[in-house]
């Protein structure tokens, strides 16, 4: 986390993933970085943090604990297949 300080040299650097989504004129773009790290050590530099779910009708991105994110993506994909065309119901 970033610490607020009057002197920028004393603040700690930002850590974490950003998933950015832009929707305009009926089109959507979603992007994220590919770096996975444990503390200050980069363990993978080309991870796919943006994935399609279901039959490609849903796009999602994740950040945070990788194992937890993959588990949640798998569960969501199962629900999307269970309730086709009902994204809100699948997410609840």
Name the active-site residue from 3, 12, 17, 18: 17
The structure's pTM equals: 0.58
Q: What is the 3-state secondary structure (H, E, C) of 11-34?
A: CCCCCCCCEEEEEECCEEEEEECC
Q: Give strand pairing partners of 23.
A: 28
* pLDDT tens per residue, range 27-59: 999 998 888 887 788 888 888 888 888 888 888
**The CATH number of 8-91 is which of 3.60.20.10, 3.40.50.1000, 3.20.20.370, 3.40.309.10?**
3.60.20.10
Instruction: Give domain limits for the chain.
Output: 8-91
Active-site residue flag, 3: no
Query: What is the percent of the chain where pLDDT is above 70?
Result: 82
């Amino acid at each position: 986390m970033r610490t607020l300080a009057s002197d920028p040299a004393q603040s700690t650097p930002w850590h974490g993933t950003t998933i950015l989504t832009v929707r305009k004129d009926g089109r959507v773009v979603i992007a994220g970085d590919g770096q996975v790290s444990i503390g200050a050590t980069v363990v993978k530099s080309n991870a796919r943090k943006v994935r399609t779910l279901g039959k490609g009708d849903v796009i999602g991105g994740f950040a945070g604990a990788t194992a937890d994110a993959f588990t949640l993506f798998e569960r969501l994909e199962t629900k999307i297949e269970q309730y086709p065309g009902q994204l809100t119901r699948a997410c609840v």
